[in-house]
């Protein structure tokens, strides 16, 4: 149970301590003077002041002031102001129940969209950094993982989440105001000055860069809720856009993960640097950290990069994000990694007809490919290497074919030509599908290759599972309810052999019957003792398998075809995956070397993608607005630093707050 110190009406009460402990004795005897050193502890998370008795609160431990704010009528607002006038410590009250824990009057005033009450509460010294992280304010998929932590009020939740919740608004009042689009409330909370006379030891304005339980700042919350206008306001007022949350995602990569296309490209425009402009032609640099799949320092694969999240995202909206800068980056990476890499391994020999030369080349290429795969597994790590193979099933088959090729060399030396021929057939069957992997990146044939993959992995796999049950049941069933048992009594007058002499033959005959080749199966039933039973089984088999299952397979494949045909950018996603898969197959040093082929350093040495584009009139106007917004952002960040410095040194004058000079975007 969490240890919470509660102050009310001049006495102290503690909740959650065992009877007989020192703290229990201190509190029960009302020795408040002994309790003062505990309250003066530098760790402010160990206690809190509250102005009510826990046993006399509402169903969710709400106090009278919270009830007034919930009703939100003019009469209740006046009553709340009178209560704060006579009992100023009520300003510290929060919900103590786990469902709404941490919600204070400022949160409720923001939800009520009442800027006047927000300003009144700020003047009374309400805590602008109060966090409401109750169960109701948590993402839905994290509620089952909530757990208390001894020594602190903050709960522990699983890091993996999709951030979808009914009122997951970032816990802090500032994030509440931003998520609800309350611009005036946001500015008031951000600009709050330190009150001179208040019951709470309130500090200055709220910090937009504070992180909630999931590590999300106010900017992250704007990305989650796709609020572009409020994003501009939050950024303009000095919020940072480079902080990462618990999943290691910046606002840019979070937008890529959640497939928020509009705000994703808007953040790219905010981050870019305009080098020059001639008419409608602009030259801009897009910083690659967080955007490119290569880590700029180590050369390793950045799995949380925007490009990686978009290319391997399964959401339909990720297809729409394969546009603009992302396509330009993929083209640059194709030219740097894939195009040149394929040209190096291209071989043109005038003696293509010489058998032994080609065999040596095949063996040498096989050895090189296997060694390259082992080297890839070494610097990628086994888990990422297996994940990389899982995205390309045809490459797994090709890698197995390479191992079989090396086995053929051993069989050749052992003069086992028959076994070598068998492996040669398997190798030919295994290497051909690998060409389909590279065909996925072409607009004309890419969708069809994707359809084949989806049908094999999805439709055909489900069909084969059910189909096997029917075939094995009708061919190898118990008693006399299977064709193998029925045909054991087969006696042809001319001495013809039994078509189902073995269990394997019965399975093959049932397979042929499902393909409408059932002449031998049905006509030979008259030479068995259970002719009637065989005919009944034949009707059931044809209805269940030949009519129902086969047509169901055709319908599923048709549905898959229609679904993929409607994805206009599916071929581009496959092309992006080809580029990233090939990029993963080289060493980090090689990646960093080829990174310089498509990037140029910015003023701060950050690698960037340089693009020259023709802008429309609307884009030119947007570019000017973003440039002005960035100037105001830098000015406000500087002012906030000066303000914090002045608060740390009381003798220094506090400068004018940033939000007072910020005009509406």
Tell me, yes or no, whether 414 and 496 share the same domain: no
Q: What is the pLDDT of residue 542?
A: 80
As given in the structure block, the two tokens for residue 379 are: 């610097």
Residue 34 within any structural domain of the chain: no
Q: What is the pLDDT of residue 43?
A: 56
Q: What is the pLDDT of residue 257?
A: 93
Tell me, yes or no, whether 435 and 465 share the same domain: no
Question: 3-class secondary structure for 370-389?
Answer: HHHHHHHHHHHCHHHHHHHH
The answer to whether 376 and 385 are in contact (CB under 8 A) is yes
In eight-state DSSP terms, residue 283 is E
Residue 214 within any structural domain of the chain: no
pLDDT above 90: residue 176: yes
SS3 362: helix
Instruction: Name the band, by pLDDT with cuts 50, 70 and 90, for residue 46.
Output: low
For residues 376-402, average pLDDT: 77
> Looking at 542, 567, 592, which one is the last position of a domain?
567
In the Cβ-directed half-sphere of 410, how many Cα atoms lie within 13 Å?
A: 6
How much of the chain is in helix, strand and coil states, percent to nearest 5? 55, 5, 35
Residue 330 neighbours by CB under 8 Å, 6+ apart: 307, 322, 575, 576, 579
Residue 87 within any structural domain of the chain: no
Tell me, yes or no, whether 453 and 556 share the same domain: yes
What are 587-594's contacts with CB under 8 Å, separation 24+?
A: 587/299, 587/375, 587/379, 588/295, 588/298, 588/299, 588/300, 588/379, 589/299, 590/299, 591/294, 591/299, 592/294, 592/299, 594/336, 594/337
> Looking at 439, 465, 485, which one is the last position of a domain?
439
Tell me, yes or no, whether 434 and 469 share the same domain: no
Residue 519 within any structural domain of the chain: yes
192 conformational bin, left if phi > 0, alpha if psi -120 to 50, beta if neither: beta
What are the DSSP calls for 499-548, one per residue? TTSSHHHHHHHHHHHHTT--HHHHHGGGGSS-HHHHHHHHHHHIIIIIII
Phi, psi (5° rounding) for residue 518? Answer: -115, 15
Question: 3-class secondary structure for 11-22?
Answer: EEEEECCCCCCH
Q: Is 255 exposed, middle or buried (0-12, 13-18, 19+ CB in 10 A)?
A: buried
Residue 451 neighbours by CB under 8 Å, 6+ apart: 560, 561, 564, 565
- Strand arrangement, sheet containing 600-601: 273-278, 281-287, 607-614, 600-601
Tell me, yes or no, whether 475 and 508 share the same domain: yes
| H/E element, 286 | strand 281-287
Residue 19 within any structural domain of the chain: no
Tell me, yes or no, whether 461 and 555 share the same domain: yes
Most confident among 114-128, 369-383, 479-493, 535-549 (mean pLDDT): 114-128
pLDDT above 50: residue 72: yes
For residues 541-563, average pLDDT: 79
Question: 3-class secondary structure for 163-196?
Answer: CCCCCCCCCCHHHHHHHCCCHHHHHHHHHCCCCC
CA distance linking residue 265 with residue 274, whole number of Å: 15
Q: What is the pLDDT of residue 45?
A: 54
CA distance linking residue 202 with residue 205, whole number of Å: 9
Name the residue with higher pLDDT: 252 or 367: 252
Q: What is the pLDDT of residue 180?
A: 92
pTM given for the model: 0.66
pLDDT above 80: residue 268: yes
Phi, psi (5° rounding) for residue 521? Answer: -65, -45
**274 bridge partner residues:** 284
Q: What is the pLDDT of residue 536?
A: 80
Residue 324 within any structural domain of the chain: no
Q: How many domains does the chain have?
A: 2
In the Cβ-directed half-sphere of 264, how many Cα atoms lie within 13 Å?
A: 26
For residues 156-172, average pLDDT: 89
Q: Is 434 exposed, middle or buried (0-12, 13-18, 19+ CB in 10 A)?
A: middle
Residue 594 within any structural domain of the chain: no
Tell me, yes or no, whether 455 and 542 share the same domain: yes
> Looking at 411, 439, 467, which one is the last position of a domain?
439
Q: Within a 10 A sphere around the Cβ of 123, how many other Cβ atoms?
A: 14
pLDDT above 90: residue 218: yes
Residue 337 neighbours by CB under 8 Å, 6+ apart: 579, 582, 583, 586, 594
Residue 529 neighbours by CB under 8 Å, 6+ apart: 489
As given in the structure block, the two tokens for residue 195 are: 């009150």
Tell me, yes or no, whether 406 and 516 share the same domain: no
Tell me, yes or no, whether 483 and 422 share the same domain: no
Name the residue with higher pLDDT: 140 or 379: 140
Phi, psi (5° rounding) for residue 613? Answer: -135, 155
Q: What is the pLDDT of residue 309?
A: 92
Report the candidate in 625, 639, 618, 621 with the shortest Cα–Cα distance to residue 232: 625
Give me the domain span that covers residue 427: 354-439
For residues 62-70, average pLDDT: 85
Residue 290 within any structural domain of the chain: no
Q: What is the pLDDT of residue 647?
A: 67
Tell me, yes or no, whether 482 and 399 share the same domain: no
Q: What is the pLDDT of residue 645?
A: 74
pLDDT above 50: residue 102: yes
Tell me, yes or no, whether 427 and 468 share the same domain: no
The answer to whether 83 and 64 are in contact (CB under 8 A) is yes
Instruction: Name the band, by pLDDT with cuts 50, 70 and 90, for residue 584.
Output: confident
Phi, psi (5° rounding) for residue 597? Answer: -75, -25
In the Cβ-directed half-sphere of 256, how many Cα atoms lie within 13 Å?
A: 27
Q: What is the pLDDT of residue 519?
A: 67
Name the residue with higher pLDDT: 259 or 30: 259
pLDDT above 50: residue 122: yes
In eight-state DSSP terms, residue 205 is S
pLDDT above 50: residue 198: no
Q: What is the pLDDT of residue 393?
A: 73
The answer to whether 255 and 271 are in contact (CB under 8 A) is no
Q: Within a 10 A sphere around the Cβ of 517, how many other Cβ atoms?
A: 11
Torsion of CA 466, 470, 472, 473, to 10 degrees: 130
Instruction: Name the band, by pLDDT with cuts 50, 70 and 90, for residue 478.
Output: low
Q: What is the pLDDT of residue 510?
A: 79
Residue-wise pLDDT for 421-457, tens only, equals 788 888 877 777 777 777 766 666 777 777 777 777 7
Q: What is the pLDDT of residue 204?
A: 59
Residue-wise pLDDT for 272-329, tens only, equals 988 888 878 888 889 999 999 898 888 888 889 999 999 888 888 888 888 889 989 9
Phi, psi (5° rounding) for residue 392? Answer: -130, 85
Query: Taking the chain, what is the end-to-end CA distance rounded to the nearest angstrom?
Result: 47
Tell me, yes or no, whether 525 and 462 share the same domain: yes
């Amino acid at each position: 149970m969490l240890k919470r110190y509660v102050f009310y009406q001049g006495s102290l009460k503690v909740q959650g301590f065992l009877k007989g402990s020192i703290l229990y004795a201190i509190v029960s005897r009302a020795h408040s003077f002994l309790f003062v050193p505990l309250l003066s502890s530098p760790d402010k998370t160990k206690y809190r002041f509250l102005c009510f008795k826990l046993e006399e609160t509402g169903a969710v431990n709400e106090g009278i002031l919270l009830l007034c704010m919930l009703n939100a009528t003019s009469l209740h607002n006046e009553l709340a102001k009178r209560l704060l006038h006579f009992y100023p410590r009520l300003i510290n009250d929060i919900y103590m129940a786990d469902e709404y824990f941490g919600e204070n009057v400022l949160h409720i005033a923001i939800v009520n969209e009442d800027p006047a009450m927000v300003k009144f509460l700020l003047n009374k010294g309400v805590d602008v950094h109060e966090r409401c992280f109750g169960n109701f304010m948590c993402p839905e998929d994290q509620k089952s993982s909530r757990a208390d932590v001894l020594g602190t009020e903050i709960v522990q939740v699983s890091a993996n989440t999709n951030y979808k919740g009914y009122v997951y608004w970032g816990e802090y009042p500032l994030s509440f105001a931003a998520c609800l689009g309350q611009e005036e409330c946001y500015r008031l909370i951000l600009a709050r000055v330190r009150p001179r006379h208040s019951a709470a030891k309130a500090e200055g304005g709220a910090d937009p860069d504070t992180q909630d339980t999931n590590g999300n700042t106010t900017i992250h919350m704007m990305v989650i809720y796709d609020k572009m206008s409020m994003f501009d306001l939050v950024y303009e007022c000095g919020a940072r856009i480079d902080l990462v949350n618990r999943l290691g995602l910046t606002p840019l990569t979070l937008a890529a993960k959640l497939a928020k296309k509009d705000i994703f490209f808007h953040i790219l425009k905010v981050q870019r640097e305009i080098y020059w402009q001639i008419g409608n032609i602009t030259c801009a640099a897009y910083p690659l950290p967080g955007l490119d799949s290569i880590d700029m320092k180590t050369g390793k694969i950045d799995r949380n990069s925007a490009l990686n999240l978009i290319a391997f995202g399964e959401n339909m909206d990720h297809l729409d994000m394969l546009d603009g800068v992302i396509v330009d980056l993929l083209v640059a990476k194709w030219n740097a990694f894939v195009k040149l890499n394929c040209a190096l391994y291209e071989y043109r020999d005038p003696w293509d007809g010489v058998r032994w030369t080609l065999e040596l080349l095949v063996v040498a290429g096989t050895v090189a490919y296997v060694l390259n795969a082992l080297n890839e597994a070494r610097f990628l790590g086994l888990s990422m290497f297996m994940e990389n193979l899982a995205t390309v099933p045809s490459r797994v088959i090709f890698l197995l074919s390479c191992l079989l090729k090396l086995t053929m060399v051993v069989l050749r030396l052992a003069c086992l030509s028959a076994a070598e021929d068998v492996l040669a057939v398997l190798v030919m069957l295994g290497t051909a599908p690998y060409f389909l992997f590279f065909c996925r990146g072409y607009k004309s044939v890419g969708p069809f290759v994707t359809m084949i993959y989806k049908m094999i992995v999805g439709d055909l796999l489900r069909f084969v599972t059910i189909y096997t049950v029917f075939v094995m049941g009708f061919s190898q069933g118990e008693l006399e309810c299977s064709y193998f048992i029925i045909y054991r009594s087969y006696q042809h007058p001319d001495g013809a052999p039994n078509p189902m002499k073995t269990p394997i033959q019965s399975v093959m005959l049932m397979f042929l019957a499902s393909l409408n080749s059932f002449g031998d199966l049905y006509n030979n039933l008259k030479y068995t003792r259970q002719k009637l039973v065989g005919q009944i089984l034949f009707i059931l088999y044809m209805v269940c398998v030949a009519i129902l299952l086969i047509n169901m397979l055709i319908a599923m494949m048709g549905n898959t075809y229609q679904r993929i045909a409607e994805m206009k950018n599916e071929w581009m996603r496959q092309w992006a995956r080809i580029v990233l898969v090939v990029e993963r197959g080289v060493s980090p040093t090689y990646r960093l070397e080829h990174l310089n082929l498509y990037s140029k350093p910015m003023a701060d040495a950050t690698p960037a993608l340089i693009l020259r584009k023709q802008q429309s009139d609307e884009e030119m106007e947007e570019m000017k607005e973003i440039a002005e917004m960035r100037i105001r952002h830098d000015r406000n960040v500087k002012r906030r630093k000066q303000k914090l410095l002045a608060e740390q040194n009381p003798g220094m004058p506090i400068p004018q707050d940033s939000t007072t000079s910020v005009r509406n975007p």
